[in-house]
Chain A
């Protein structure tokens, strides 16, 4: 059974700092890994998707890496801003015998960027 762990559970940093969020998963047989952002009481906003054949993806100040063999991904946020405050979730899409591409999520890292 796929298990996804995110460390730390919560993180508080001053504005302008670069930071790294960690995600680990137990089963390396995955199609892809997706990072999401969730604001309080809201749904999930997709940030980056890394296919299993890729090593990293970048979007603006965000960079996500994937090491499938070790079951790890990191989300790097450069020059953090108060508007980055949210919960960040990683999710893996496991290869299965069925057609569903269901995601297995970690519990998230709650990020607070202090002005």
Chain B
């Protein structure tokens, strides 16, 4: 069990650029979540996948954001035309099937918009 892996750990980009983050969940976990965390706050839910299907999206996920999990394994989160307000830590979590399973988090990708 190698844990949830996220890449890159840090991303610095100019406003208006597109960025893409990757998450590799724990191998047997079919549920995958993306959260966003700003300084001094707890993480906020963005979106949820069960296998390859994106089943839920938060209203925080504007149309500049898109997430995929094409083969039900790794997932990508893309932000287009980045804005200053997108600066945050983007966290990925995964959990195994069944009710009440704990979510396991990666170390996150810290995005800084110049």
Contact = CB atoms under 8 A, between A and B. Distances in A.
A98 B104 CA distance: 20
A43 B104 CA distance: 10
Interface of B: 4, 6, 31, 33, 35, 40-45, 48, 50, 55-56, 58, 91, 93, 95, 99-108, 110
Contacts of B42: 4, 89, 91, 105-108
Q: Interface size for chain A: under 10, 10 to 19, 20 to 34, or 35 or more residues?
A: 20 to 34
A8 to B, nearest CB: 14
Q: By CB atoms of chain B within 10 A, which of A98, A101, A104, A108 has the most?
A: A101
Interface of A: 4, 31-32, 34, 36, 41-46, 49, 51-52, 89, 91, 93, 98-108
A90 B33 CA distance: 17
Contacts of A107: 40-42
Contact of B108 (A43, A98, A99): A43
A43 B4 CA distance: 10
A91 B42 CA distance: 9
